[in-house]
């Protein structure tokens, strides 16, 4: 069958709603810039004009043409070995969106997808199409689904009032001031236009969504929300780190086994809870300075930008400033905690570091006969008052910027003990902190708990446990854990355990 006929038949089988979503997912705003030497060019007009004309003319002609062009580009595209191009990213994104929406073209060359995944050095686990979907876009899709056409129209009216933001933008004028989004699936096109416009204007990104939240807050709840939804519910959904679908993120487990009883148990527990959370996991046993540098270099590879979050468990002996590695060398804790969050592929993603090691030799010891022989180690807020609001600074958009981000932002560091103190271990089961952390995370899957809520519970739980030193004194003591957070959103555990799909995204 002629390819033109195949493409036409494929487009005619897709509903307008899915066309709007396919366009949205395919024109991801945070796509990497073209690689050095690439001739790929991404224009503002290419991604903004089709939805603008769809809203203005109430037809999907330009979106159809855009999708046809994409399909034709991929059909003619020759996968070049080694060099990763912008088209490689677009091809993977297009396929994953089609798979997610269940509209995969029967004529799409899956062998090319497999070849591109080879260029990214993707493992079997990483070839699951869900990894390639941008979780922030999935959250925005849910926001759109929660709004009625009237709600999106009200957002548009509010946006048009910001003269400084829209001045000189031709696509804004194409749509006009007042919009009737009621015709079939025009709502989706208008909402996705607003989102991509704000992203291109550097007003929102996957973490900074305040500008979008303010537009939604101006909607009339009675006419703008779908049944069962409220304005607060919709805005709250934007205040969590986007970690939709599988995988929940990438988990790096670094564990020194030499001289640490129970270390293998630590690895097993952290691997098990990572799998339960839906993470793809890599374990580095007995890390050295050399292997630590190699791991850091590995995380710089382009494929890691597809992950929604990053978690690291680092388990070793240590002191107040450093961790002891397998070869006896030490690794400065501050260097590790500042250099890893600065890796570009995990920027604007939640990064969690569990630092499990002693930070000194001090102990919070307990004295008294009743403690002898007892231990576990033997085996925008709502301003209701106008008066208060009037006293607050008027922070305008002109003094806001989301382009430059301090590397430690979106990072949380959880310590197994406080500075200068011991981190307790059980004879056979390893770190008590690791054990309790894994238990509490496992128990709270599907309960909608945030990571910080669990860490607070962990702090309470761990501090109740009586531990005993392994020396001759057999001193009973308590351990206190804590965390430092630079989070800008809330990180929730997944509601369900996300299993790996039985079928890979492309043939091997």
Q: What is the pLDDT of residues 275-285, one digit of tens each?
A: 988 999 999 99
Same domain (yes/no): 194, 278: no
Per-residue pLDDT, 272: 92
Which residues on adjacent β-strands are paired with residue 323?
318, 331
Residue 409 within any structural domain of the chain: yes
Per-residue pLDDT, 1: 60
Same domain (yes/no): 420, 318: yes
Res. 502: pLDDT tops 70: no
Q: What is the CATH number of the domain that holds 420?
A: 3.40.50.1460
Per-residue pLDDT, 397: 79
Compute how many other C-beta atoms are within 10 angstroms of the C-beta atom of residue 428.
Answer: 10
Same domain (yes/no): 346, 224: no
Same domain (yes/no): 267, 209: no
Per-residue pLDDT, 416: 94
Per-residue pLDDT, 32: 44
Residue 491 within any structural domain of the chain: no
Same domain (yes/no): 161, 231: yes
Per-residue pLDDT, 102: 96
The stretch 418-426 carries a mean pLDDT of 86
Confidence band (pLDDT; 50, 70, 90) for 42? very low
CA–CA separation, 164 and 162 (whole Å):
6
Per-residue pLDDT, 141: 96
Per-residue pLDDT, 390: 54
CA–CA separation, 116 and 91 (whole Å):
8
Same domain (yes/no): 217, 259: no
Higher pLDDT, 354 or 443: 354
Task: Please classify residue 158 by burial: count the beta carbons closer than 10 Å to its beta carbon, then call 0-12 exposed, 13-18 middle and 19+ buried.
Answer: middle
Range of the domain at 88: 1-28+50-133
Residue 385 within any structural domain of the chain: no
- Residue 117 CA, chain-centre distance (Å), reads 20
Tens of pLDDT, residue by residue over 298-347, are 999 999 999 999 999 999 999 999 999 999 999 999 999 999 999 999 99
Confidence band (pLDDT; 50, 70, 90) for 383? very low
Share the mean pLDDT of the chain.
85
Q: Percent of the chain, pLDDT > 70?
A: 87
Per-residue pLDDT, 369: 56
Same domain (yes/no): 56, 194: no
Per-residue pLDDT, 254: 97
Res. 266: pLDDT tops 50: yes
Confidence band (pLDDT; 50, 70, 90) for 127? very high
Res. 396: pLDDT tops 80: no
The domain tally of the chain equals 3
Res. 387: pLDDT tops 80: no
Res. 179: pLDDT tops 60: yes
Burial profile 238-253: b = 16 or more Cβ within 10 angstroms, e = fewer: beebbbbbbbbbbbbb
Same domain (yes/no): 231, 265: no
Span of 31-40, 163-172, 179-188 with lowest mean pLDDT: 31-40
The stretch 372-388 carries a mean pLDDT of 45
User: The whole model's pTM is what?
Assistant: 0.85
Q: What are the two backbone dihedrals, phi and then psi, of residue 10, each rounded to the nearest 5 degrees?
A: -60, -45
Per-residue pLDDT, 467: 85
Higher pLDDT, 245 or 229: 229
The stretch 496-504 carries a mean pLDDT of 48
Q: Percent of the chain, pLDDT > 90?
A: 58
Confidence band (pLDDT; 50, 70, 90) for 367? low
Res. 419: pLDDT tops 80: yes
Tens of pLDDT, residue by residue over 223-233, are 999 999 999 99
Per-residue pLDDT, 504: 41
Per-residue pLDDT, 44: 56
Per-residue pLDDT, 303: 96
Which of 239, 267, 293 finishes a domain? 239
Which of 177, 206, 239 finishes a domain? 239
Residue 480 within any structural domain of the chain: yes
Per-residue pLDDT, 378: 46
Residue 496 within any structural domain of the chain: no
Residues in the chain: 508
Sign of CA dihedral 416, 421, 426, 427: positive
Per-residue pLDDT, 382: 37
Res. 496: pLDDT tops 80: no
CA–CA separation, 23 and 50 (whole Å):
9
Which of 99, 133, 167 finishes a domain? 133
Per-residue pLDDT, 211: 93
Per-residue pLDDT, 375: 52
Same domain (yes/no): 270, 231: no
Among 378, 375, 379, residue whose Cα is nearest residue 478: 375
Residue 195 within any structural domain of the chain: yes
Same domain (yes/no): 226, 261: no
Confidence band (pLDDT; 50, 70, 90) for 429? confident
Same domain (yes/no): 452, 322: yes
Same domain (yes/no): 324, 463: yes
Residue 453 within any structural domain of the chain: yes
Residue 175 within any structural domain of the chain: yes
Task: Please classify residue 283 by burial: count the beta carbons closer than 10 Å to its beta carbon, then call 0-12 exposed, 13-18 middle and 19+ buried.
Answer: middle
Per-residue pLDDT, 28: 72
Tens of pLDDT, residue by residue over 185-196, are 789 999 999 999
């Amino acid at each position: 069958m002629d390819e033109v006929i195949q493409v036409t038949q494929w487009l005619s089988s897709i509903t307008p709603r899915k066309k709007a979503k396919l366009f949205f997912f395919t024109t991801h705003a945070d796509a990497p810039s073209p690689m050095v030497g690439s001739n790929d060019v991404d224009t503002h007009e290419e991604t903004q004009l089709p939805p603008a004309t769809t809203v203005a003319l109430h037809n999907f002609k330009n979106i159809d043409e855009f999708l046809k062009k994409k399909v034709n580009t991929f059909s003619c595209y020759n996968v070049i070995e080694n060099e990763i191009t912008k088209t490689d990213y677009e091809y993977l994104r297009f396929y994953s969106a089609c798979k997610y929406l269940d509209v995969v073209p029967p004529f799409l060359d899956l062998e090319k997808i497999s070849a591109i995944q080879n260029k990214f050095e993707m493992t079997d686990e990483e070839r699951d199409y869900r990894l390639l979907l941008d979780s922030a876009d999935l959250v925005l899709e849910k926001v759109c689904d929660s709004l009625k056409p009237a709600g999106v129209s009200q957002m548009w009216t509010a946006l048009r009032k910001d003269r400084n933001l829209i001045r000189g933008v031709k696509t804004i004028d194409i749509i006009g001031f007042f919009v009737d989004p009621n015709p079939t699936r025009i709502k989706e096109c208008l909402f996705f236009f607003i989102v991509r416009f704000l992203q291109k204007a550097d007003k929102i990104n996957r973490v900074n969504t305040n500008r979008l939240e303010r537009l939604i807050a101006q909607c009339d709840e009675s006419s703008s929300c779908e049944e069962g939804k409220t304005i607060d519910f919709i805005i709250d959904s934007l205040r969590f780190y986007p970690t939709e679908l599988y995988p929940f993120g990438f988990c790096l487990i670094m564990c020194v086994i030499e001289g640490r009883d129970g270390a293998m148990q630590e690895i097993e527990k952290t691997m098990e809870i990572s799998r339960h959370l839906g993470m793809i996991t890599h374990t580095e046993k007995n890390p050295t300075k050399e292997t630590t540098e190699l791991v850091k270099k590995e995380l710089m590879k382009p494929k890691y930008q597809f992950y929604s979050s990053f978690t690291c468990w680092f388990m070793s002996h240590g002191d107040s400033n450093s961790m002891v590695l397998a070869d006896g060398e030490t690794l400065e804790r501050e260097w590790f905690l500042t250099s890893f969050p600065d890796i570009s592929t995990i920027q604007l993603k939640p990064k969690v570091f569990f630092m499990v090691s002693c930070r000194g030799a001090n102990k919070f010891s307990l004295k008294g006969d009743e403690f002898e022989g007892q231990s576990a180690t033997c085996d925008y807020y709502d301003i209701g008052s106008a008066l208060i609001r009037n006293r607050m600074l008027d922070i305008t958009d002109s003094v806001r910027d989301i382009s430059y981000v301090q590397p430690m932002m979106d990072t949380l560091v959880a310590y197994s003990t406080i500075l200068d103190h011991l981190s307790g271990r059980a004879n056979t089961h390893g770190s008590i902190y690791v054990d309790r952390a894994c238990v509490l995370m496992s128990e709270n899957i599907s309960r909608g708990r945030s990571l910080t809520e669990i860490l607070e519970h962990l702090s309470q739980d761990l501090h109740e446990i009586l531990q005993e030193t392994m020396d001759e004194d057999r001193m009973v003591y308590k351990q206190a854990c804590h965390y430092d957070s630079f989070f800008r959103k809330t990180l929730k555990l997944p509601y369900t355990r996300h299993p790996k799909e039985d079928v890979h995204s492309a043939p091997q």
